Chains A and B, each alone.
Chain A
Amino acid sequence: MVVNSIMDENCDILKSDLWSDIVSDQRKPKLIACRTEFFEMTKNLHAAILLEKIFYWYQPPKARKSNPKHSRLTIYREGYMWLGKRRDEWADIGFTPWQFDTAIKKLKELDYVVVKNSKYKRKRQALIRLTDRFLNDYYLKKYPNKEYELNEKRMLEKSKLQKPDNRQSQILHQFRLEISNHLKTSSLEEDIFVRDTYLFDSKMPSNQYVRQIRDTVERLYNLFRENKKPINDLKEEYNFFDSYKIFTIQQDRKSDYSSLSELDQFNRVIGVEPTSQTRDRLKSIWRHYNCSEMKSEGNSLNCIVGIAFEVRDDGFWSRQGLHPENADAALLAVVMYYDAYRDDFKWPNVNEKHGKNSNLTMTNAEETA
């Protein structure tokens, strides 16, 4: 009855005075709940609770729970979303500034968090962001049997991010011309890329990948050594059949070869001292495939073999998303390979597939040999 006296009959609810009282009495959660998994990850109570609160801001709001990629965060800087909160504002949880400092220090040590100083309304504010490492650890903590799937997902994401550069492709073209001039072979690339070998591909399942590598290695081994026998004799020596191991054996046989530096090897192959431009170019290439993630395992010669498998694909040039410097490295690898087996090496018959144009390669290659 009291309400009727205050309100008109046709009044909107939002305009009435009662509405403001109702909105002010909105219920807020009085509990702070922290996952025990976070405690196991950090091994510190305050750090775990701080991590929980940061994780809360990364989660989608209730209205948009269907889309997990829609977070509560609003600040966008340097390609990331950030959580902005002052040191005193963490008193909502009951943290003193000193407790906040120790907790965030612990999280920084674990590389779960990146913190950046900034200003908002003339006051210092810490911008906080979660890292890849946190995601990785928490995922494995939650699903311990899915380590393999996680690595595959990462590789897919990386391949999407990579884009071909026009500038690097121009450099690649120059480099190709340089090498072909030095070796006096106009169509070296054709000889390399015409082979119908299988290719290393990270998206395949593991069994299929091993089988394909085994086939390619057998074919290459027979091709370069002119030995028709398959490589089964070597299988017994090594339990896990790996392409790298073959080349390490051959490297041991020729000890002089391994003692030389990379640039000396190049001089030895070409027979002429390279210009300063090519020298710098070579240095950059070596630096590239020693530092890149794909070739981190093994020494430099093993790296080359890994790259050579990639480049020997027919669709390498047409495929998008691959780094063109890998092709440079592969060309160098082939040159070195040619040097290592100079005595036994013979160019394969390309006439059957490519007709008259490929005759040039045969003659030029024989001259160099």
Chain B
Amino acid sequence: MKSCYSGPKLELCFKIEDVIKAVDVQEENSERKTDMKNVNVSDAPSWYVTHSHTIALKECVVSDVADAHDAIVINKVLIDIAGDFNAGLLLTHILRISGWVKYYGFKFDSWICLSRIQWYAETYLTPKMFDRALKMLVEKNLVTKKRQFIESKSRITIKLNEDYLSSILQKRDTNLGYVSPCGYDPW
């Protein structure tokens, strides 16, 4: 996992504090919160990465493979772990985005909050394919899915279970290789 984030650090075009969406947003909608079933009630601070943040991060990550070559990138090892092609594709992109965030100094768990259409733009998975792939990842405990309030809207958020994934990789004695950001040329 360390190899994913190795490389020279770059300066971000926005502050890290802007990315953080504090729990205060949820407290404002406390009345609606009681009606919802799956709601994050814990007091720990949660961090959200929305679509606008991913665009800003992409601009900073110069040496990313997928954007450099205009390509759809999939990791073979993750396909084996996920057990399906589409699920493996989604897992690589979740890892890619969470990797960017971690690379720029995030210490806490970051939740990715993208709509299904925004996922289509990233991974070229259709909404139906995305739903099925996410379901498979959740069943295997590689990813946690939660419905939360973000910008006064209830949305699905995804988080990568890094500890579980790294334990699987240790059992297999494999490495993911370079996903992002790196200078690896697949061709």
Contact = CB atoms under 8 A, between A and B. Distances in A.
A49 B72 contact: yes
A31 B89 CA distance: 11
- Classify the interface of chain B: helix, strand, loop or mixed: mixed
B108 interface: no
A38 to B, nearest CB: 9
Interface centre among B66, B72, B129, B176, by most A CB within 10 Å? B72
A145 to B, nearest CB: 19
Given A33-B69, A33-B71, A36-B71, A94 B76 contact: yes
A34 B72 contact: yes
Nearest to A39: B124
Interface string B7-32: 00000000000000000000000000
Interface string A27-67: 00111111111010000011011000000000000000000
Contacts of A48: 72, 124
B73 A33 contact: yes
A31 B185 CA distance: 9
Interface residues of A, number: 20
A39 B85 contact: no
Contacts of B88: 94
A99 interface: yes
B75 A31 contact: yes
Nearest to A38: B72
B82 to A, nearest CB: 9
A95 interface: yes
The residue in A33, A35, A95 that gathers the most chain B C-beta atoms within 10 A of its C-beta is A33
A93 interface: yes
Contact of A30 (B70, B85, B125, B176): B176
Contacts of A34: 71-72, 74
A35 B66 CA distance: 9
A305 to B, nearest CB: 48
A99 B129 CA distance: 13
Nearest to B124: A45
A32 B124 CA distance: 14
Interface in B68-94: 69-77, 79-80, 84-85, 88
Nearest to A56: B187
B183 interface: no
Nearest to A44: B124
Contacts of B177: 29-31
Nearest to A59: B187
A30 B79 CA distance: 10
B84 A35 contact: no
A114 B122 CA distance: 31
Given A30-B177, A94-B79, A99 B85 contact: yes
Interface in B28-81: 65-66, 69-77, 79-80
B84 A94 contact: yes
A48 B72 CA distance: 10
Contacts of B129: 45
Interface in B132-187: 175-177, 179, 184, 186-187
Contacts of B187: 33
B76 A30 contact: yes
A94 B72 contact: no
A93 B177 CA distance: 16
A121 to B, nearest CB: 26
Given A30-B177, A31-B177, A95 B85 contact: yes
19 contacts: A29-B186, A30-B76, A30-B176, A31-B177, A31-B186, A32-B73, A32-B74, A33-B71, A33-B74, A35-B69, A35-B71, A36-B71, A37-B70, A39-B124, A45-B124, A45-B129, A48-B124, A94-B85, A96-B85
Given A31-B73, A33-B71, 8 more contacts: A30-B175, A31-B74, A31-B184, A33-B69, A33-B72, A33-B186, A45-B72, A45-B125
